[in-house]
Amino acid sequence: MIPELGEYALILAFVLALAQAVFGLGGAYFQHRSWMEALTPTVTGVWVCMAASFGCLTYAFVTHDFSVAYVANNSNVALPLLYRVAAVWGAHEGSLLLWILILATWALAVALCSSTLPAAFRARVLGVLGLIAVGFLSFTIATSSPFLRLIPAALDGADLNPILQDPALAAHPPILYMGYVGTAVAFAFAVAAMLSGQMDAAWARWTRPWTVMAWLFLTIGIALGSWWAYYELGWGGWWFWDPVENASFMPWLTATALIHSLAVTEAKGLFKSWTLLLAIFAFSLSLLGTFLVRSGVLVSVHAFASDPSRGLFILGLLLFFIVGSLALYAVRASALKTNTGFSLVSRESFLLLNNALLVAAAALILTGTLWPLFMDAFNLGKISVGPPYFNVVFLIPTLPLIALLGVGMHAGWTRAMLGSKRTALIGIAGGAALVAAFVALGCYGSARLLTIVGFTAGFFVIGSSSWFVLHRLLVKQHLKRAAFGMALAHAGVGVLVIGVTGVSAYKVEKDLSLAPGETAQIADYSFEYMGALPVAGPNYDAIEGRVVIRKHDVRVDELTTQKRIFRAQHQPMTQAGISVGWSRDLFVALGEDLGAGKWSMRIQYKPLVRFIWLGALIMALGGLIAVMDRRYRSAAKGA
């Protein structure tokens, strides 16, 4: 009964989303005031139906309703409650449901916070969001309903994919989807602007806070995913350049470019057509990511559900939204006047470079991700493009980007204003190089050129951002929230760069075979293997190994690492033991049983790895502070 209610709510949501699209786009086109006024209740209705539908599926999971095929495939009587709730989005059908619920949530937020926008513009934005909801709801109802019954019902479920049985499953997908789907809001604003012909600074000011919100969710979501892969897959890697990771990273790069481009459009009315294009790209890449992950055209270590027949449907949606909006762009943008006129060292030109480099990075990643697919499609042979390509190619645009970032935020609009600040910046850069050399040679005792460059760039960005804040506070005695948030986010980039540089240059990874009582020496640490014992979890059996870590004979930590065999699927999983610290992580993972008490072990020393995720969190915090700037709040309150 409850699953049928869920299906019913889903169909109702579809009908209401259709109404939302018609009221929004039709209302604005025909100037029907009553249609446009009906939008808030309609959007609320879509949200209530989606929440109800989502609640019904959650209920089916919590109560072990194995007469629902999706539940039977992704849950188990022994599955703990937290994972039963999170298992709702553990596979294709449910994650699609979550996707649409989040879209409805964004639409509701736009409907409630946009009372100051011109009525027709607001109607178009909500209409476009309704149209996207219609597309994805029809996809869910036609090909991927999570409420299909299993007759006869299963006695027990096949269990959730063991890789997903981790507390991070509760947080990572919803936050990442908030980011993914959030790009739909910027897209809807862009399409509304093109439909209405109002593509000016006001449009950019309305779009900016929404874009930053989506961006900050995307930032946290990606960081969470990286952290999860780090400890869960048992490989100790924090980024693999896997297609699924790239699928989330490309919208992030584009959204980052969009935030900066919107800043120029808002302040100076420049880059108008480029900003529109970026807003379309950010959402297009989000959709493309969904398509690549869900259709199974690419192989990924994170792809948990794929089906080519569904792929065609998503491809249809993809083409409709992207080609549709790009065609609209072709008509509207060519009518825009391009007005140029800023000097070489102005903030505009720095932001232009920022955009060019970010988009180049996204394009290089897109090429690398899709290249194997093209080769395969045209029978040119099977290749895989992996870290060797991405690591090199990604550095080419990002190194100059980071160097420019530290300088660019001090440049004034329109004309060269760097003059007085030049000396200070050179000083900061020199100081950063000294600190970098000290850290590399003093703390780690060796350095390649790229390591020094990386550290210098990181410290320079942090120093430059701090000086930006101090200068505003002490000299100008005035610091806007938006400016502080911007500086903080940039400092976060610096922290992240330091982390990436440190872990890339100084990590030590060893695969060893150890018998109980044997010790391995890695970096300054000695790892003593104490032996392994069987332990039982709620839905798995495990062998748990214990390792005591000492540094110069002083006990540092004791780690446990497990090799788990999940009972329902007989799939082995490794649970790594990690000793966390500011300056380093120590990582131990149990490998294979070599007999006679011996085990193969993966032991890793990861210097500064925490700074990667810390940097991402600082960036997101900076974004959050920036959107709370008075200028956006007063706009929301009706100024």
Provide the binding-site residues for another protein, judged by CB under 8 A. 273, 277, 280, 284, 291, 295-299, 308-309, 311-312, 315, 318-319, 322-323, 326-327, 329-331, 333-335, 370, 373-374, 376-377, 382, 384, 570, 592, 594-595
Quick count: other Cβ atoms within 10 Å of Cβ 350?
21
Please check whether residue 551 is in contact with residue 525, taking contact to mean a CB–CB distance below 8 angstroms: yes
Our CB check for another protein shows the closer of 272 and 507 to be 272
Quick count: other Cβ atoms within 10 Å of Cβ 391?
12
Q: Is the dihedral of CA 155, 158, 162, 166 positive or negative?
A: negative
Distance CA(226)–CA(292), nearest Å, equals: 19
Nearest approach in angstroms of CB 332 to another protein is: 8
Nearest approach in angstroms of CB 537 to another protein is: 18
Our CB check for another protein shows the closer of 493 and 589 to be 589
Residues 6+ apart with CB under 8 A from 38: 19, 23, 27
Residues pairing with 68 in the sheet: 149
Quick count: other Cβ atoms within 10 Å of Cβ 553?
6
Our CB check for another protein shows the closer of 161 and 273 to be 273
Cis bond upstream, residue 209 (ω within 30): no
Our CB check for another protein shows the closer of 280 and 487 to be 280
CA separation (Å) from 223 to 76, 346, 500?
29, 32, 13
User: Strand, helix or coil at 311?
Assistant: helix
Phi-psi region of 518 (alpha: psi -120 to 50; beta: other; left: phi over 0): beta
Our CB check for another protein shows the closer of 353 and 373 to be 373
Nearest approach in angstroms of CB 396 to another protein is: 22
Nearest approach in angstroms of CB 139 to another protein is: 15
Nearest approach in angstroms of CB 338 to another protein is: 10
Phi-psi region of 393 (alpha: psi -120 to 50; beta: other; left: phi over 0): alpha
Nearest approach in angstroms of CB 564 to another protein is: 14
Please check whether residue 279 is in contact with residue 266, taking contact to mean a CB–CB distance below 8 angstroms: no
Please check whether residue 562 is in contact with residue 590, taking contact to mean a CB–CB distance below 8 angstroms: yes
Our CB check for another protein shows the closer of 550 and 567 to be 567
Max intra-chain CA distance, the chain: 81
Nearest approach in angstroms of CB 203 to another protein is: 18
Nearest approach in angstroms of CB 375 to another protein is: 11
Distance CA(543)–CA(524), nearest Å, equals: 28
Nearest approach in angstroms of CB 536 to another protein is: 18
Our CB check for another protein shows the closer of 312 and 470 to be 312
Our CB check for another protein shows the closer of 384 and 420 to be 384
Our CB check for another protein shows the closer of 308 and 419 to be 308
Nearest approach in angstroms of CB 285 to another protein is: 11
Our CB check for another protein shows the closer of 88 and 277 to be 277
Distance CA(630)–CA(623), nearest Å, equals: 14
DSSP 223: H
Residues 6+ apart with CB under 8 A from 17: 46, 130, 133, 134, 137
User: Strand, helix or coil at 527?
Assistant: strand
Q: Which residue has the tokens 């020199």?
A: 430
